[in-house]
Each structure stands twice: as structure tokens, then as C-alpha cells.
Structure 1
Amino acid sequence: MPDHDRPLPDRHAGSPAPLNDLLIDAEADDEPVSRPSLLRHPLFLLFGLVLVALNLRPALSSISPLLGEVSASLHLSAAAAGLLTTLPVLCLGLFAPFAPRLARRFGAERVILGILLLLAFGIVLRSLFAVPGLFAGSLLAGASIGIIGVLLPGIVKRDFPKQAGSMTGVYTMALCLGAATAAGSTVPLRDAFGSWSLALGFWALPPLLAALVWLPQARRGHAVAHVAYRVSGLWRDPLAWQVTLYMGLQSSLAYIVFGWLPSILIDRGLTPVQAGLMLSASVLVQLITALSTPWLATRGRDQRPAVVVVMGLTLCGLLCCLYAPLSGLWLWIVILGLGQGGTFSLGLALIVLRSRDAHVAASLSGMAQGVGYTLAALGPLAMGLVHDFTGNWSASGIIFVAIALVGTLFGLGAGRALYVRASAERL
């Protein structure tokens, strides 16, 4: 029986490493050289990692509560506003493949330091230089986040190998907290500064602070012995594509929420402050299922039931936010957060669970992020185009249903207890 069609072995009888031990490593082809100073300051390294992770979502979530005001101020159509929400997400996918190459050439720590500075520059450019700066800065911000997002998990695995599971939880929490903080506080910052551009520009300060704290890591660096591996067969494997398309479609719903949920709620009668707080609350709720779903999903025979549950919660929350009475909005926000926290963490888990080893997992991760995030960018763009064509958000429910159903279909394929038909060999 081919490997692809053979069910996974019992996890207690020669099964592959558990989920926590196969954290996706952006530098999976590098073997660390033992050095006494490697973890000389582990708490300081942890603090730096958390600060860096906190900066991977504010550039995306800070603009959505002010999108209507920004569009009116700069005379953007809904389609142009949709492109503005799409561009950073598109760059997440397009620039992710460059991260390992940059890390090989300059070292992951130095690349992260440089990209943090580029992220801060992109946010300033987006905030202060009208329409050209708005789009150019969004492009730089998305590219920066895409590169850092690939490199951080590899550093976590390398420098905290015995705490990979707990450190992944800390990393996920930092992502959610960064997104929630930016979504909830950008409008109050606008009120305090009296300018939407200064409120958006404020978010250039956190990456500068993170760069300052990260500087000792970049100066010290880590010695690695390069060992080349080749992964073959992945891009021809149907299961790998099912994982990738599930990852992309659930990400599309996530970035629709980041980009458009506040605008939808404002049009339904909420103030910008209230809409920003709703987005913030939804992201914070994601922490619950982001941490619990991968563990629960590995308790059963496969992950197909988990796919149906979390995608169903996401669709229910989105449709209720769009159509249901606002008197139950807090409930709809909680349902949406529970669903999206689960879909995201389950996507990461599927990358690992469908791979035989860390090298295949690293390649599958690159495929899922590169193709998946590029696909995800179409969701926010479609929302803007539909709103521009119809003049309201009512037809958006069709987009929600279509993405969720197709995502569930691919998720059911990806959730089967099989391995991708790919192999890694040392060169």
C-alpha cells in the first residue's frame, strides 16, 4: 500500500513525533552547533520573541476601524479600500518564500532586526504620504510580516527545543494580543491625536522598541552547521494541496474579519470605537480555541470532526454579525472568535500531522503559507468589489458561505489520518 494511502500508525507504537515536538522550523536544514552561550539569556530572548510576535498583526488590524474615515479622507472607492486590505495579505504569501533564503545568507536574527526596521518604515510611509504612501507602506508592512512570521517559529524550535509546545502557545498569544490591542485602541488614539494618520503612525513605535530589545540577539547570532536536505514530491501530492487550500481559505475569512468587520458593524449602527472593540474582543476570544483545538483534534481518530466544528462556528459568527440583531452581538463575536481561533491553530496542526518529519513539515509550511496567503488575499478584495457594486454588505453573506463551504471540503480531505506523499533526503 502506498505511503499516501496508509493510515497513520498508532501514536504509542512507533508513531511520528507528537505535535509539540514537530513545531515547524524555518531553518529545518540547519543543525545548531553546541555553544555554551546559546541560551545565556533565555528570559531576555523570550522577551524579545514576544515583542517581535506582538508586531505581526497591528499593521493589519489597526487600519480596519478607521477604514471608512481613511477612504473618505483620501477619496478611495470601496474597491480601492478592498485592495488596501488585500495588499498586505497578498504580500504575506508572496514574500514568505524569501525568508529562509535571507536567513541562510545573513542569519535569522539579523534578518528579523532589519525587517522590524522595515516594518516601522512601512507603517510611517502608510500613515503620512497620502495615497501613494498608503499603498506602498501597506506593501512593505505585509512583506515584513510575511518574512518575520516564517522565521520566528524556527528560532523557537531551535532555542527552546524542550519547551516547544508551551512556547508555541506563548507565540500564538502574542499574535492575538497584538491584533486585539491595535484593533481596540486605534480609534481612541485618533481621538487623542486628532488625526487618523498619527493614530496609524503610532504603530511604528512598537517595532522600533522590539528592534531595540532584539539588537543583542542580532549582534550575538548563533552558529549553525548547514546540512542540505531535498524534499521531493510535495507539490504533486493531492493531500498537500488540500492542506494548503484549507489553510488559505480559513486565512481568507480571518483577513476579511481584520479588514472589513469594523466597517460592517459601523454601517449597522455601531460607532468606530465600538466596532474596534468588537474586533478586539473577537481576537482575544481566539486564544481559547487557538490553544485548545490542536490538543483536542489529536485525541480522536482524525481531524475531520474538528474541521467541521470550527469552520461551522466561524460561518455562524460571520453570518450573525452580518444579519442577526445587534442585541446579541457579543454572543456572535464570541462564536466568531472561537471558530477562527480553532481554524487557524488547526491549520498549523495539520501541516505537522500530515508530515513524516520536520523537513517535510518545513516544506509543507512554506507551500501552505506561500500559496495559502496569496489565495487568502482574494477574500478581502472580493468584499470590497461586492460592496462597491451593490452599495451595501448584504451580498457579503454569499462570500462567507462560499469560502466556508469550500474550505470545509478541503479541510475534510486534509483532516484524514494520512501522510503527504513526500520524502526528505540528505544531500
Structure 2
Amino acid sequence: MRQKTTHILLLVAIFMVSLNLRPAITSIGPMLDSIRDDLALSNTQVSLLTVIPVICMGVFAMLAPVLNQSIGLNKTMYLMLLILAVATGIRLITHSFSVLLLSALAVGIAIAVMGPLLSALIKQYFPMHVAIVVGIYSFGMGMGATLSTGLTAVFYEASDSSYAFALAVWSVLAILGIIAWRISAKNPLEVKQQKESGAKIGVNPWRNRKAWSFLVFFGLQSALFFAVLTWLVPIAVTNGMTLLQGGTLLSMMTVIQIFMNIGFPIALQRFNSRTPALVFILILGILSVALMWSSHPWIFSAGVVLMGIPLGGLFPICLLMPMDATNTAEETNAWTAMMQTGGFIIGGILPLFIAMLYDYTANHHVTLFVLLLLFLAMLVLALRIGKTAATDDALDATSDR
């Protein structure tokens, strides 16, 4: 009974922490125009507030295993949640662009460290239910993104048009995360780094071809996610819709995405191989882009709604990839940190490339074509990753000699 209570508390803590992995970034989007006008910024300058955290999530992901080894998982998680709370809360008392940039930097570092640690934690304490717990993790993250995207404007209106308050209010989630983590850590089964015999991690992910495939795949899905969130409404407006209609479509897509975040990992439990399901949702993604190519509002809307399925399913399956490929929590931490290091850098740079293409062409069909290329590239990678374990292990053993 005590162990069951411990796991329930730990699940609550994982959910509460995962709620914090997007709002400090996604809450910026609805306030971009207000921030730009108030601080007299260019569009390029104000976009750095969302680009910097995403790139930081890649650059600093490798801090996760380092901090986990030096001060332990528990203290690291407390520290990152505290940094996130302060970095988000300080937005309330400043109207300085430089401080907002520093806040974005701190937010990116905190999220970069917490992501791999949560994956290692799931691998360590829920080895028989990894897919389900990953579903809870990704559901919490999707819920945090949805809440911040939908409610930031509400807080803005309720606070007499104060974007500072609308941005800073999300620090409350970090405080709740600290409380939830504290409650779970008080249990005798303390959340801590698993002690392995010897300090050496079994397979160095940086010398492993499968790990590099994971990195590129994660980067492509990150780029797809942030590109769709950034450009969906402008594409809809170009097709003749109003801002309200485009925003409604975005909300509908996000709701589907949330259900896929938790439903898809649970469905994967029924299959021995994850590759067929992954290929299926990638084909749905290609179909959704094809439908969005139409200027007819109903066909376009069907494409947007369908896009919620691959966007919601790809992230949790990316989290499962290093868990499936590793044997210990420490290995999972290292592989996930590597995957997110390069992946989020790719995910931050490619949307900027899409923006540059649109500035040059002023044609969102080019934007859709880039999204199509992302899906096709992921489809090729999915088929490569889906090769038999025996073949991959033989290749890895040869490369590691």
C-alpha cells in the first residue's frame, strides 16, 4: 500500500512538473504585439522571446545528466523549478526588453534540464508502464501549453491590459510544482538518481547511430510543432479567414493534440512494434498538409483538425524512443539529453528559416511545402529507426569498438 501511495504521489508530481514545460514560452505568443508596441521593438526582436528558450532547451539539455550526478535528481528538480518560478515571476515588475531576454534564457535552461530528468525518472520507477506514464507526462505538457495559449489573453484583459501580469501569472504553476515535488519526495521511496555499479554509462549515445536518428527525428518534430503554432493563424488569414476563426481552429487542433498526447502512448501498449503506428500518423500528417493547401475553408479546416493527430502523437513517441533503446535510468537520461540537445536547436532554427522564406516569397504555399518536407523526412527516419533490433545492435557494437 505504501509503495502504491508513493507511485501515485510521484505521478502527480510528474504531471505538475510537466505542466510547467511550455507556459513560460507559449504565453509569449498572444502578447507579442503588445510587447512589441510597448517596447518599440521590431518583429525580429520580439520573436527572440520565443526563439531563445527553444534553442536553450537544446544547448543546455546536457546539463541534466551532469547535475543529476553531481547534486542528485531531487535537488536539481527543486533548483530548476525555482529558477522557472523566478524567471517567470520577474516579468511582473519589468518593462525592459533586456530583462525579458534574460528571463527567456533562464526559462530555456530550466526546461532543458527538467525534460531529460523526467524521462529518466519514468524509466526508473515505472519500467513496466513507461508508455502510460509518458502519456501522463506529455498530456500535462500539452495541457500547460493549451492553458497558457488560451488564458493569457484572458488574464491580459482582466488585469487592465497588463501583459506583464499575463506573463508572470504562470509562475504559480512552478510554485505548485515545487509543492508537489516536495510531497512526493517526503515519502520513504525518495526520488533520487539510481545508483549503478560503476560510473560508466553502457552505450555512449554520441557514438551511436540510432541515437543520432532519434536526435534528428526529435528536431524535425520540434520544428514542425513550433512552426505550426507560429504560422497556422497567418495561413488561415491568408486563406480568407478572420483572426477569430483562425484562433478557433488553432484551439480545436490543440484540444485534439492533448487527447493524442495521452491516448497515443496508451494505444502503443497494444503493439510489439511502434513503427506501424508512427508511420500511420506521419501519413495522416502528409494528408493534413495536402488538405491545408486548399483555399476552401472547410477543406482547409479539416486539414488543420487532422494536423492535431500527428502533432499530439509525435512528441510522446519521441520520449519513448530512448526509453526503448536503453536499459537503465542513467542511460535514458543521457540519451534523452542528447536527443533534446540537438533536437531543440533544430526546432528553434527551422521556424526562423520558414519565416525568412516567407519574407522572401510572401507565399504561404512555400510554408506548407516546408511542412510537407518535414513529414516526409520523418517518415524516412521512422522506417530506418524501425529496423530490427538485432541489426541495429550489431551496427552499434561495431561502431563502438
Amino acid at match of 1:201: A
Q: Point out where structure 1 has 5 or more consecutive residues left out of the alignment.
A: 1-35
Shift in alpha-carbon separation, 1:391–1:126, aligned structure 2, 3 A: farther
Which residue in the other structure is 1:314 paired with? 285
Shift in alpha-carbon separation, 1:273–1:130, aligned structure 2, 3 A: farther
Deviates most, 285-294 or 50-59: 285-294
Q: Deviations over 1:198-254 (max 9, x none)?
A: 212221222122223333445675566632233345433333322221111111111
3-state SS, counterpart of residue 395 of structure 1:
helix
Which residue in the other structure is 2:170 paired with? 203
Deviation of the 1:394 alpha carbon: 4.7
Which residue in the other structure is 1:77 paired with? 42
Amino acid at match of 1:284: V
Amino acid at match of 2:344: Y
Deviation of the 1:167 alpha carbon: 2.6
Amino acid at match of 1:372: G
Which residue in the other structure is 1:252 paired with? 223
Identity %: 27
3-state SS, counterpart of residue 377 of structure 1:
helix
Counterpart CA distance in 2 for 1:121 and 1:272 is 33
Task: Say what the alpha-carbon RMSD is for the aligned residues.
Answer: 3.3
Shift in alpha-carbon separation, 1:110–1:324, aligned structure 2, 3 A: farther
Deviation of the 1:379 alpha carbon: 1.9
Which residue in the other structure is 1:147 paired with? 113
Contact 1:265 1:275 in 2 (8 A): yes
Which residue in the other structure is 1:156 paired with? 122
Contact 1:93 1:372 in 2 (8 A): yes
Alignment of 1:2-81 (within 5 A): 41-81=6-46
Deviation of the 1:139 alpha carbon: 1.4
Counterpart CA distance in 2 for 1:352 and 1:223 is 18
3-state SS, counterpart of residue 41 of structure 2:
coil
Contact 1:99 1:148 in 2 (8 A): yes
Deviates most, 251-260 or 324-333: 324-333
Shift in alpha-carbon separation, 1:131–1:237, aligned structure 2, 3 A: same
Contact 1:318 1:400 in 2 (8 A): yes
Contact 1:68 1:263 in 2 (8 A): no
Shift in alpha-carbon separation, 1:215–1:222, aligned structure 2, 3 A: closer
Shift in alpha-carbon separation, 1:225–1:254, aligned structure 2, 3 A: closer
Aligned residues: 388
Deviation of the 1:275 alpha carbon: 4.6
Counterpart CA distance in 1 for 2:65 and 2:292 is 39
Which residue in the other structure is 1:324 paired with? 295
3-state SS, counterpart of residue 202 of structure 2:
strand
Deviates most, 232-241 or 196-205: 232-241
Deviation of the 1:115 alpha carbon: 1.3
Are 2:331 and 1:365 equivalent residues in the alignment?
Answer: no
Counterpart CA distance in 2 for 1:292 and 1:223 is 29
Shift in alpha-carbon separation, 1:108–1:38, aligned structure 2, 3 A: farther
Are 2:156 and 1:185 equivalent residues in the alignment?
Answer: no
Give the TM-score of the pair, scaled to structure 2.
Answer: 0.82
Q: Point out where structure 2 has 5 or more consecutive residues left out of the alignment.
A: none
Counterpart CA distance in 2 for 1:305 and 1:38 is 35
3-state SS, counterpart of residue 387 of structure 2:
coil
